[in-house]
Structure 1
Amino acid sequence: MVIEAYPTLEGRAKVHAALADTTRLRITDLLSLTDATASELGASIGIPSNLLAHHLRVLEEAGLIARQRSEGDGRRSYIRLVPAALDVHGPESLAVPRRVVFVCTANSARSHIAAAMWRQASAIPAASAGTHPAPAIHPGALAAAHRHQLPIPRRRPRAVNQVLADGDLVITVCDRAHEELAGPTGFHWSVPDPVAPGTDAAFDAAYDHLATRVTALEPRLRTA
């Protein structure tokens, strides 16, 4: 899976540097609530105009703030946060895959749960597969999905070579599967196997782990 350089590493570094100062963080906190003139900012934060001008220049050069001439008193300019500017310092965007394929060893629990979660969260299609498919989905996985009101199609587990196609993003959700697959996979989520302990708590823990990872990845693919 290709990671695209947008926003650029240089741009992200500049944003991080601009925000690595308590005064500039206070300015962005205030501007997240209201546009303000430089004099209003100085009065609210309590710093002299020359020091404020320095901090505003750093924020402006990082693309975090912009100025707009007042439509009332044309001698004034209002400073505002650039829309979504604070999102720029997050991880880089990803190329959108044709499909997301979740892989574990047996394709009986974690990969099915992850694929079902993905279908609920994203318009990008999802599938699941296993390096050594089991005869059926594990009852513990079905019970955990039922407890969390997650619909899982009762599909027979399938082998990786029956499922993968060009353009797929492969996400292994099992250490064994990750280590067995030849060549690099797209991503790997190290989710403990709930089948071994077989308890409701183990399946719920795997569910929560996968939910956290799906929730974190989905916006990055949606906005790519």
Structure 2
Amino acid sequence: MNTERTMLLEARAARHAALSDPSRLRIVDLLTLGDLSPTEIRTALDIPPNLINHHLNVLESVGIVARSRSEADKRRSYVHLTPTALEGLIPGLVESASRVVFVCTANSARSQLAAALWQTVSDIPAASGGTHPADAIAAGAVAAASRHDLMLTDDHPRALDEVVTATDFVVTVCDNAHEELGVTGNLHWSIPDPVRVGSDAAFDSTFTELQRRIAELASRLTPGSKETRP
């Protein structure tokens, strides 16, 4: 881990630690709506002045809050969130990727839907493959895609070996494929196989879960080359 990334992680950890106290978290909640004086914060939390001062000092030390002097009563101050108060409180970028490859066993449902969903939210290319590809895409997956106005990217399942390269960002969406590949993949999403159930509800549930996870991942991957995995 390089020095810059270590420093960013330490800064994030310090902010999370500062917000681990319920009173400090409540102070930040209040300040998202407006600026408050320490007295007003004390009234809202109903705790002693020395504790309010302690909590504000902790929040200030990690850059979450700042204080400014009142233009009216110079003896009075106001506490406000800094412009970067909430930065780093959610996971940051994972890394860059030239292409994302989604993998399941048959490449007939989950990985097909995932690749198609990915292309609706990211400019990074996507593909899919299977460790043991089926003869055709599952009818339930085709129907689910149609119900959600999604166009599938492939017209037939493909073997992973024919698709994947050493620089791809690999996401397994099937427990069997993940356990077969071991540590080869970059990420694993444990998503039940809708083909086994076969109902519209099962395929729609898979679609919704893939959509949620893909939205989260897409915001954390940047386009670009990816280092070859050993």
Using structure 1 for the length normalisation, give the TM-score. 0.84
Partners of 1:175 and 1:88 lie apart in 2 by: 31
Q: Percent identity?
A: 52
Contact kept? 2:115, 2:153, Cα under 8 Å: no
d(CA) in 2 for partners of 1:203, 1:53: 54
SS in structure 2 of the partner of residue 101 of structure 1: strand
2:55 matched to which residue of 1? 55
1:80-159 matches, within 5 Å, as: 80-83=80-83, 85-159=85-159
Gaps of 5+ in 2: 224-230
Q: 1:79 to 1:120 in 2, by over 3 A?
A: same
- Which residue in 1 is equivalent to 2:168? 168
Could you tell me which residue of structure 1 aligns to residue 25 of structure 2?
25
* CA drift at 1:80: 1.9
Given the superposition, is the C-alpha separation of residues 45 and 222 from structure 1 closer, same or farther in structure 2, using an over 3 Å criterion?
A: farther
**8 Å Cα contact 1:98/1:125 also seen in 2:** yes
Asked whether the equivalents of residues 101 and 126 of structure 2 are also in contact (C-alpha less than 8 Å), the reply is: yes
Per-residue Cα deviation, 1:69-117 (whole angstroms, up to 9, x for no partner): 55x4493554222335335233353112111110111111100101111
In structure 2, the CA distance between the partners of 1:126 and 1:210, relative to structure 1 (3 Å rule), is: same
Separation in structure 1 between the aligned mates of residue 123 and residue 77 of structure 2, nearest angstrom: 42
Q: Comparing 55-64 with 131-140, which one deviates more in the overlay? A: 131-140
Question: What SS does structure 2 have at the residue aligned with 1:181?
Answer: helix
Q: Structure 1: where are the runs of 5+ without partners?
A: none
Q: CA RMSD in A?
A: 2.6
Give the paired residue count: 219
The answer to whether the Cα contact below 8 Å between 1:59 and 1:65 also exists between their aligned partners in 2 is yes
Distance 1:16 1:40 in 2: 24
State the AA in 1 paired with 2:114: A
Whether the aligned pair in 2 keeps the contact of 1:173 and 1:189 (CA below 8 Å) is yes
Residue in 2 that maps onto 1:218: 218
Letter in 1 for 2:173: V
Q: Partners of 1:38 and 1:222 in 2: how far apart?
A: 42
Supply the distance in 2 between the matched residues of 1:148 and 1:123 (Cα, whole angstroms): 20
Counterpart secondary structure, 1:106 = coil
How far apart are the structure 2 equivalents of 1:202 and 1:132? 22
How far apart in 1 are the matches of 2:24 and 2:122?
36
- Find the counterpart in structure 1 of residue 67 from structure 2: 67
Stretches (4+) displaced over 6 A? none
* Alignment TM-score, normalising by the size of structure 2: 0.83
2:42 alignment partner in structure 1: 42
Q: 1:181-219 CA deviation, whole Å, 9 max, x = no partner?
A: 264210111111111222212212221221222133222
